[in-house]
Amino acid sequence: MKTSLNLSTRQSLALTPQLRLAIRILRHSALELEAELAQSVEANPLLELDDPDAGDQNTAEEGAENINEDLDENAKDQRDAIDSATDLAEDTADAAPDLHEFEDFSDPDWAEFPAGNSGASGDSFAEVASDPDLKSHLAAQVDCLRLNPLERLIAAVLIDGLSDDGRLLIDDQAVIEALALCGVTVACPEIEVVRLHLLRLDPAGCGARSAPECLAAQLHDAAADNSERELALRIVTEHLQQLATAPEQLRRQLDVADALFNRACSLIRSLDPYPGRRFGASTAAIVRPDLEVYRERERWQVRLLTSMRQRLRLSHHYANLAQQRGADPWIKGRFQEAQWLLRAVDQRESTLLAVGRVIVTHQNAFFDFGAQAMRPLSMREVADQVGMHESTISRAVAGKYLATPRGVLELRQFFPVGLATSTGGQASSTAIQALLRSMIEAEDAAKPLSDQALANALGAQGMRVARRTIAKYRDELRIPPSSERLRRA
């Protein structure tokens, strides 16, 4: 063993402040961009951001007086400041970041787009309403219970361990270890007592570790006769799987009257095995689309809905000071930062518009005929057409929305996976899901189509789709299996 010195050379990508800014601005959604620009304007006196509603606060008479008083005085100064800023911008243009030069910077996190559409709206904003947060809802009810301090701590840990469905994901040992970190010792019987309290809160069944336990907790407070409730409780705790697969065999096995069995089954169908699903995020999801699709001369076109670049500008007064000889270095630094930001915003909008045009051109049939006409599209195809790297396209579409006549849709929804057809072409996963939904809606309620039957029906139309793929798409569409559709019918 000995130490030695070695010399080697290597190439690496340096993330300069300009590049970091350009990447961050490109990834921002419309609301995130507006928030960051507002902060930048507060921190940098060389930046000004127009308020689109500010003009409505003054009367026309006051505005006319201000224009008449300031026009002659400021016209020459403004022209001089613009000329000076333009000269300085040309001198420093090479220092501004060009996003295309760094398109090989990889982006490993490519989130899959959701199967469903966002809320349909033609306005600039779209709000997706949601229910109160499940955990906050349960915590508020725990505060009203007569529990000692230790039981309240246990309840807080249990609530924190719930899934979005209301199912308890942690065991007693995890609760014991979590409380041990706080110096609290607890036993399993104490945890079980608190969990039983949790099961009875609204919605009933939250905190259960299995579907039978969840349904049984809801049956305790169900409005039904004792005989119906007892039979339903017996079914969900002992024969729930058999009820789903062979209900007639189960009725004969239990040896009960048809009327009583049917009432018990109706009572079970009224229960919710996932009581937490009707609760959403703690805040409503509000989105603002960047792009808008409109029809002009029998063709679909796309445009920027709101241009932040047109609202953001340099302050002429401070720009004039920054270009003077002997100007304060702090002012010069803020001037350079302002130019970087302006260029990054301009690059973001031009990239978005270029990507939007490719999407609208490729998916024009969707705007005419709906989801069944959606064509397969990959980010690599868009990247090749706009002359950018695939990772740049991924950043550009992340969190961005498109206002269409069919609603406000996320840009990622226009990149469905392609599945091979018997004719040698490809059908998009979105089109297949739309076709599946229409087939299930048109099926005979007394004889619902199984996943294999749906796969065979699609195969007859030239689409080779495996049964497990049908099951996956059906789950994404939140359509129950054929056995449950039969019971609901």
Contacts of residue 160, Cβ cutoff 8 Å, sequence gap at least 6: 135
Indicate the length of the chain as a whole number: 489
Mean pLDDT of the region 399-418: 89
Helix (H) or strand (E) holding 303: strand 299-304
Q: How far apart are CA 371 and CA 251, in angstroms?
A: 43
Q: How far apart are CA 156 and CA 179, in angstroms?
A: 10
pLDDT at 64: 36
pLDDT at 306: 83
**Positive or negative: CA dihedral 68, 70, 75, 78:** negative
pTM of the model: 0.55
**DSSP string over 465-485:** --HHHHHHHHHHTT---HHHH
Q: How far apart are CA 54 and CA 49, in angstroms?
A: 11
Burial 247-282 (b: 16+ CB within 10 A, else e): beebbeebebeeeebebbbebbeebbbbbbbebbee
Mean pLDDT of the region 210-222: 86
Percentage of the chain beyond pLDDT 90 is 17
pLDDT at 59: 37
pLDDT band at 124 (very low <50, low <70, confident <90, very high): low
Least confident of 93-102, 130-139, 141-150: 93-102
Percentage of the chain beyond pLDDT 70 is 80
Mean pLDDT of the region 350-359: 94
**CB 109 within 8 Å of CB 260:** no
Q: Match domain 417-488 to its CATH number in 1.10.3720.10, 3.40.50.300, 1.10.10.60, 3.40.50.1970.
A: 1.10.10.60
Mean pLDDT of the region 190-213: 90
Beta strand 291-296 with 418-420 is unpaired
Q: How far apart are CA 1 and CA 250, in angstroms?
A: 76
Question: Residue ranges per domain, the chain?
Answer: 18-50+73-101+288-408, 134-278, 417-488
Mean pLDDT of the region 369-398: 90
Q: What is the pLDDT of residues 444-468, one digit of tens each?
A: 888 888 889 898 988 888 888 888 8
Least confident of 122-136, 238-252, 352-366: 122-136
Q: What is the pLDDT of residues 266-297, one digit of tens each?
A: 888 888 888 888 775 444 567 889 999 999 88
Query: Over 90: is that where the pLDDT of 359 sits?
Result: yes
pLDDT at 258: 86
pLDDT band at 13 (very low <50, low <70, confident <90, very high): low
**CB 315 within 8 Å of CB 353:** no
Contacts of residue 122, Cβ cutoff 8 Å, sequence gap at least 6: 403, 405
171 vs 119 pLDDT, higher one: 171
pLDDT at 65: 43
Query: Over 50: is that where the pLDDT of 184 sits?
Result: yes
**CB 358 within 8 Å of CB 383:** no
Give the range with max mean pLDDT: 89-103, 139-153, 271-285. Answer: 139-153
474 vs 2 pLDDT, higher one: 474
